[in-house]
């Protein structure tokens, strides 16, 4: 049986037994997701590549402690989050102004009328504006929004990663009391 035909649980068991090729197959299957997560947590491309290597080294060393109660990708995501936070904590804090005045650039962004080169350019501009809006949020909020609304995790999974779910996140999604975090209108309005 070739390693590409093995299921993820089989590869995990083989890797736990010291099979480096099985672990390599797991890395190949998860590397794009880990890299993407690191980028979404705010790391530059080169940093994300370095930290992704650290994530997989930690995963290899800690594979015996992986209990299988969650998917491997969720476990790796958690390691990636911790490593990204470790890297980001070394940076000096960036002052963030959370009082939005004037028109919201994302809400004023025009809808593309037809798909084509212009629509593609508008889409790319929208993505850039979305990441600018996300960058204006405090780190913990940005992480929660990225995990939940961009990476598709449930509120509970996102809360697990950030360890403390701010009340406004659940309320803003459910509309419980209309509370919104500063900047959430820009993100939610632009992504709706």
Q: What is the pLDDT of residue 133?
A: 80
pLDDT at res. 107: 64
Q: Which residues contact 7 (CB under 8 A, 6 or more apart)?
A: none
The rounded distance, in Å, linking the Cα atoms of 79 and 181 is 27
Give CATH 1.10.1740.10 domain extents, the chain: 3-89
Specify the residue for token string 């009082």.
99
Quick one: pLDDT at residue 178?
43
Question: For the chain, what is the largest distance between any 2 Cα atoms, rounded to a whole number of angstroms?
Answer: 62
Render each residue's pLDDT in the chain as its tens digit; 192 residues.
455 678 999 999 999 999 999 999 999 999 999 999 999 888 889 999 999 999 999 999 999 888 888 889 889 998 999 899 899 888 887 666 666 677 766 666 555 554 567 777 777 787 778 777 877 777 777 777 887 777 777 777 777 777 644 444 444 444 444 444 445 454 444 444
Task: Determine the CATH number of domain 3-89.
Answer: 1.10.1740.10
The reported pLDDT for the residue numbered 179 is 44
């Amino acid at each position: 049986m070739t390693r590409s035909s093995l299921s993820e649980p089989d590869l995990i068991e083989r890797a736990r037994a010291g099979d480096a090729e099985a672990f390599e197959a797991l890395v190949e299957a998860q590397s794009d997701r880990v890299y993407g997560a690191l980028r979404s947590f705010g790391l530059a491309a080169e940093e994300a590549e370095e930290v992704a290597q650290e994530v997989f080294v930690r995963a290899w060393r800690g594979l015996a402690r992986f209990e299988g109660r969650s998917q491997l990708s969720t476990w790796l995501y958690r390691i990636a989050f911790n490593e990204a936070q470790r890297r980001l904590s070394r940076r000096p804090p960036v002052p963030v102004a959370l009082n939005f005045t004037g028109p919201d650039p994302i809400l004023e962004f025009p809808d593309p009328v037809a798909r084509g080169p212009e629509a593609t350019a508008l889409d790319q501009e929208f993505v850039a504006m979305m990441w600018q809006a996300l960058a204006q949020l405090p780190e913990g909020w940005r992480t929660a929004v990225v995990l939940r609304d961009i990476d598709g995790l449930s509120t509970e999974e996102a809360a697990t990663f950030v360890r403390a779910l701010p009340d406004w996140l659940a309320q803003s999604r459910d509309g419980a009391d209309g509370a919104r975090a500063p900047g959430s209108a820009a993100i939610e309005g632009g992504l709706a």
